[in-house]
Amino acid sequence: MFYSTKRYELEYYTKNINRIDSDIDVAIVVKKIEGDYFEIQPLLWKLRRQIDDRIEPVLIEKDNDISGLLIDIQRNGIEIA
C-alpha cells in the first residue's frame, strides 16, 4: 500500500513536444512504499486502464530516489491534484 503525496505530469506534455500518439507519463511520489514495489507497480498499471491507456505511471519514493529523476520531475513537470 502507498499514500500518494504528489503527482506530476512529466515533461513531454509540459514542453509541448507531445504528439497525438504520445503517452502520458505520470509520476506518483510517495513518502514510503509499504510492501513490495513489484506488487504495487502493476496495480498502478491496472488503475490507469480505468482512466486512459496512454498513462504510464512512475512510482517514486520521495526520500529514496538515487537516480535524481524526482529532481528533474519537480523542475520540469506540472504538479497535478
CATH number at residue 59: 3.30.460.10
What would the pLDDT profile of 68-77 be if each residue is shown by its tens digit? Answer: 888 988 888 8
In the block, which residue shows the cell 512510482?
59
Domain range spanning residue 75? 4-80
Number of domains the chain is built from: 1
What would the pLDDT profile of 42-67 be if each residue is shown by its tens digit? Answer: 999 999 999 999 889 989 999 999 99
Outline where DSSP puts E strands in the chain: 4-9, 24-30, 55-61, 78-80
Q: Is the pLDDT of residue 80 over 60?
A: yes
Q: Are 9 and 80 in contact (CB under 8 A)?
A: yes
Q: Are 54 and 25 in contact (CB under 8 A)?
A: no
Q: Is the pLDDT of residue 1 over 50?
A: no
79: number of Cβ within 10 Å? 12
Q: Are 24 and 9 in contact (CB under 8 A)?
A: yes
pTM above 0.75, yes or no: no
